Chains A and B, each alone.
Chain A
Amino acid sequence: MATVREKGYSHWDGKLTERRFPWWPITRTGILLAFRKKRFKFVFAGSFVPAVVFLVGLYVSERLEDFKAFLQGSDRLLNINPNYFKTYFTNDSLLFLIVLVLGFAAAGLIADDLKHNSLQLYFSRPLRKKDYLLGKMSVIVFFVLILTAVPGLVLLIFKLIFAGSFKFFLDYPWLPLSILGYSALLTVFFSFYVLFLSSLSKNTRYVTILVFMIYIFSDILFGMLSGIFHEPAMALFSIKANLQQTGAFLFGQKLPFAVPAVWSFLILAGICVLSAAVLNRKIRSVEVIK
């Protein structure tokens, strides 16, 4: 017989039964709640640092000969000058991490809008194409600057603090401009690069792969062509190499590859221009189905 139920507070109506491990939900909830606290995640990650340091120690112990050579050169390595900053900004790991972060955070910026047909929603508001692109780019700008300009300036400030004087700044007064200039270059390039790829597909997973694939492939291509033809100009095929060339130029350091830096600037600019042209074509309020 059907009954009519009163709408009321929505508590569970079933019968409580005993679980096999009744303490487990309490434990699970407690752990999950801890991880919800933002600061805790950092603290928790940081607490593994000693373990990682000791793990590195184990590795070093297996490769002592290699590390003896490294230590002999350390006075050269730890000489703080603009080259030190250039090395931070242009090292392979930082550039790879930028690509990793953007693959995680930015691959779906336009792809998701294409997938859900959201462009019509955006452009039915008083929003122009450039506002839309600026908004999307700002997301990338935020992440790239957090990884480049902010730590770069912080390193400079801490250098001054640890040194106890402004001598370093007086010796290299253009260094802050180099830091900001190169950060801006990385920001602009990666903004166009990632948004261009994001506009090519509705599938965020595929875009993430493209972001990595093109970056890594360009470097592999450079390696392969360099191995065959032994020409320094092959570095121009590599996105990473071009970024490192322009970085060295902006920090007034010796260029890593025997190719004029202007070519690297032109190649990066060319990629930005191509990306802008494709974005202009792809971002429209009406989808054309062929």
Chain B
Amino acid sequence: MTARKSIGEIFGFFFFLGRRTGKTRVFALLGLFPVILAFVVRVVFHGRSGDMAAVFTEILMVFLLQFYIVILSLFYGTSVVAEEIEGRTLSYLITRPLPKPAIVLGKYAAYALLMFLMVAVSLSLSFFILNTGRLADPSLYLTFIGYLGVLGLGILAYTAFFTFLGAVLKRAILVGLVFGFGWENVIQYFPGSTQKFSIVHYLKSVLPYRPTGGGGGRLALLLFKLEPTAPAVAVLMLAVVAGALLALACWFFRMKEYLYEE
């Protein structure tokens, strides 16, 4: 079987498995929270579209970008390798005619799509509930696609990082938590080029709404202390980082021996 077909089959199998687990249901439910909040806000701020738009950009988008995709990527990214070792099911995969990198890439793709669907549902519903006053405006849809793209890139980048951690470390989840909710939350506010050492910096640089002059207006919270990188460069960096981390994850998975804890 070719590597491409192997990746495809692994993708199909784990996308099927991932959809069914209770944990996916819990994370999907978590994604409904911004939708519920959007609905509540809609009722409370009926007619005040400016306020509703602000709620989306300053509150819900912060939740989605700095919490939801991070927690999803952390769980599913580390699961790519760690769940096979914890569950002792790795034997079933590596005694198949599957190149080891295909296992990593196939599972990564499956989980990334699963997460993207959860995030897309959450984003779509909450965005359009809060922007019903502007449905006739074509720029709204471009903005929506922009937000979806940012979250999608975030999923790809964070999941790649956590996949790499899961392939290399035994206690990946804790390092991941410190990174996702410690490093990422702190370093993005550091002055100068220090903030470029975070994934969220590049994601924020690509946000579709950016008032000229930086941090201010409706995106004040999201863009606080942001010294943005040019969007094209930011997307390239995210792609390079994700690609490099995935390549490293594949390499480690191929070379490393994984022993089950007795």
Taking the complex as a whole, does A directly touch B, i.e. does some CB pair lie under 8 Å apart?
yes
Contacts of B62 in A (CB 8 A): 224
Contact A216 B82 (CB under 8 A): no
Among B70-78, B198-206, B242-250, the stretch in contact with A: B70-78
User: Binding site of B, secondary structure by majority: helix, strand, loop or mixed?
Assistant: helix
Contact B63 A224 (CB under 8 A): yes
A203 at the interface (CB under 8 A from B): yes
Contact B74 A209 (CB under 8 A): yes
- Binary per-residue interface labels of chain A (143-173) against chain B in the complex, 1 for a CB within 8 Å, 0 otherwise: 0000000000000000000000000000000
Contacts of A213 in B (CB 8 A): 30, 71
> Can you list 27 A-B contacts (CB < 8 A)?
A59-B190, A62-B191, A62-B192, A100-B178, A103-B177, A201-B23, A203-B86, A204-B86, A205-B79, A205-B83, A205-B86, A205-B173, A206-B75, A208-B173, A208-B177, A209-B75, A213-B30, A213-B71, A216-B67, A216-B181, A217-B30, A217-B67, A225-B37, A227-B55, A227-B58, A228-B44, A228-B55
Contact A63 B191 (CB under 8 A): yes
Question: Known: A100-B174, A206-B23, A228-B44. Is A212-B181 also a contact (CB below 8 A)?
Answer: yes
Contact A227 B192 (CB under 8 A): no
B148 at the interface (CB under 8 A from A): no
Which of B58, B177, B192 contacts A212 (CB under 8 A)? Answer: B177
B41 at the interface (CB under 8 A from A): yes
Which A263-283 residues have a C-beta within 8 angstroms of B?
none
Contacts of A223 in B (CB 8 A): 59
What 3 A-B pairs have minimum CB-CB distances, sorted nearest first? Answer: A224-B59, A62-B191, A208-B173
Contact B82 A205 (CB under 8 A): yes
Contact A229 B44 (CB under 8 A): yes
B60 at the interface (CB under 8 A from A): yes
Contact A224 B60 (CB under 8 A): yes
A35 at the interface (CB under 8 A from B): no
User: Binding site of A, secondary structure by majority: helix, strand, loop or mixed?
Assistant: helix
Contacts of B171 in A (CB 8 A): 104
Contact A205 B177 (CB under 8 A): no
Contact B174 A103 (CB under 8 A): yes
Minimum Cβ distance to chain A for residue B242 (Å): 21
Contacts of B178 in A (CB 8 A): 100
Question: Known: A100-B177, A103-B174. Is A227-B190 also a contact (CB below 8 A)?
Answer: no
Contacts of B174 in A (CB 8 A): 100, 103-104, 208
Which A59-88 residues have a C-beta within 8 angstroms of B?
59, 62-63
- Binary per-residue interface labels of chain B (165-182) against chain A in the complex, 1 for a CB within 8 Å, 0 otherwise: 000000101100110010
Minimum Cβ distance to chain A for residue B176 (Å): 9
Which of A59, A62, A209, A216 contacts B173 (CB under 8 A)? Answer: A209
Contacts of B60 in A (CB 8 A): 224
Known: A205-B79, A205-B86. 9 other contacts (CB 8 A): A59-B190, A100-B174, A208-B173, A208-B174, A212-B181, A213-B71, A224-B59, A227-B58, A227-B59
Distance, CA A220 to CA B62, complexed state (A): 9
Minimum Cβ distance to chain B for residue A233 (Å): 15
Minimum Cβ distance to chain B for residue A35 (Å): 16
Contacts of B191 in A (CB 8 A): 62-63
Distance, CA A213 to CA B71, complexed state (A): 7
Contacts of A103 in B (CB 8 A): 174, 177
Contacts of A205 in B (CB 8 A): 75, 78-79, 82-83, 86, 173
Contacts of A221 in B (CB 8 A): 33
Distance, CA A220 to CA B173, complexed state (A): 21
Contacts of B173 in A (CB 8 A): 205, 208-209
Question: Known: A205-B173, A206-B23. Is A220-B74 also a contact (CB below 8 A)?
Answer: no
Distance, CA A59 to CA B189, complexed state (A): 11
Q: Which residue of A lies closest to B23 (CB)?
A: A206
Q: Which residue of B lies closest to A221 (CB)?
A: B33
Minimum Cβ distance to chain A for residue B17 (Å): 14
Which of B60, B173, B178, B181 counts the most A-chain CB atoms under 10 A from its CB?
Answer: B173
Minimum Cβ distance to chain B for residue A198 (Å): 14
Minimum Cβ distance to chain B for residue A202 (Å): 9
- Binary per-residue interface labels of chain B (27-47) against chain A in the complex, 1 for a CB within 8 Å, 0 otherwise: 000100100010001001000
Which of B30, B44, B55, B86 counts the most A-chain CB atoms under 10 A from its CB?
Answer: B86
Contacts of B181 in A (CB 8 A): 212, 216
Which B1-48 residues have a C-beta within 8 angstroms of A?
23, 30, 33, 37, 41, 44
Which A29-65 residues have a C-beta within 8 angstroms of B?
59, 62-63
Which B47-68 residues have a C-beta within 8 angstroms of A?
55, 58-60, 62-63, 67
